[in-house]
């Protein structure tokens, strides 16, 4: 897929009682967003769904990990690096145990970030679907997260409804920066730029 049509980036500003809290499509990167009710249909067509309010005791999200000089040394060649975001309503524990879903489990200290969430980096050997399991040390709070590196499914409208503008893609790919050539993509598939937050609809 070498040509593409850029669709407007989806964003929202401010949080109020009138906004609805949404989570990204299952397995896809991104964090919760707040949108006004009149934009719900547009978000649902991309696969977003309503999130509980307040958030759970432990809420997980993920995003592609930005490449840095340090990360280039730490991440083995040919692997896909991701960043796991952990947000807890409780006082952060001393440590967190993560089963990364690829056969590796590790217990790590809770890393405090500027936003108060924990951010953990991990590299995967292949583009597949992984189910992560996380447990907070000392209080037994657990959470799981599906992480799809093979492309995320997009919500499909009912057959009686018109297809979404742009061709009605079925897969969602992601990366850092605008999309280049994506050999596994088909016309109408979606792409998320993890840096700018812009969405793209791929075409011939």
What CATH number is attached to the domain comprising 90? 2.60.40.10
Matching residue, tokens 């292949």: 126
Q: DSSP letter string over 154-203?
A: -----TTSPPPTT----EEEEESSS----TT--TT-EEEETTT--EEEEE
Instruction: Check residue 67 and give its pLDDT.
Output: 64
In a domain, 66, yes or no: yes
In a domain, 98, yes or no: yes
In a domain, 11, yes or no: no
CA dist., res. 194 & res. 64, Å (int):
7
In a domain, 144, yes or no: yes
Q: Per the confidence metrics, is the pTM higher than 0.75?
A: no
Q: Which domain holds residue 105?
A: 20-150
In a domain, 51, yes or no: yes
Residues 6+ apart with CB under 8 A from 202: 1, 4, 5, 169, 179, 182, 185, 186, 187, 188, 189, 190, 191
What is the count of structural domains for the chain?
1
Per-residue pLDDT of the chain (204 residues), as tens digits, is 433 433 333 333 444 447 888 898 888 988 888 888 888 888 888 888 888 877 888 899 998 887 655 544 566 667 789 999 998 887 777 888 999 999 999 998 887 665 667 889 999 988 889 999 999 887 888 999 999 988 876 544 333 333 344 444 556 677 777 777 777 777 777 776 666 656 677 776
DSSP 11: -
In a domain, 91, yes or no: yes
In a domain, 111, yes or no: yes
Could you give the 3-state DSSP secondary structure of residue 126?
A: coil
Integer-rounded Cα radius of gyration of the chain: 18
In a domain, 12, yes or no: no
């Amino acid at each position: 897929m070498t040509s593409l049509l850029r669709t407007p980036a989806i964003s929202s500003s401010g949080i109020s009682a009138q906004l609805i809290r949404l989570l990204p499509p299952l397995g896809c990167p991104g964090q919760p967003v707040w949108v006004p009710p009149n934009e719900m249909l547009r978000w649902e067509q991309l696969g977003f769904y309503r999130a509980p309010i307040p958030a759970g005791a432990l809420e997980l999200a993920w995003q592609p990990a930005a490449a840095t000089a340090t990360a280039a040394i730490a991440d083995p060649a040919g692997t896909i690096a991701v960043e796991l975001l952990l947000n807890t309503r409780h006082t952060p524990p001393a440590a967190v145990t993560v089963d990364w879903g690829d056969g590796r489990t590790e217990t790590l200290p809770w890393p405090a970030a500027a936003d108060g969430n924990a951010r953990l980096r991990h590299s995967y050997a292949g583009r597949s679907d992984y189910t992560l399991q996380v447990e907070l040390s000392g209080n037994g709070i657990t959470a799981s997260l599906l992480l799809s590196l093979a492309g995320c499914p997009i919500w499909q409208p009912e057959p009686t409804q018109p297809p979404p503008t742009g061709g009605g893609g079925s897969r969602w790919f992601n990366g850092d920066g605008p999309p280049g050539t994506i050999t596994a993509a088909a016309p109408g598939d979606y792409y998320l730029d993890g840096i700018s937050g812009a969405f793209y609809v791929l075409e011939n």
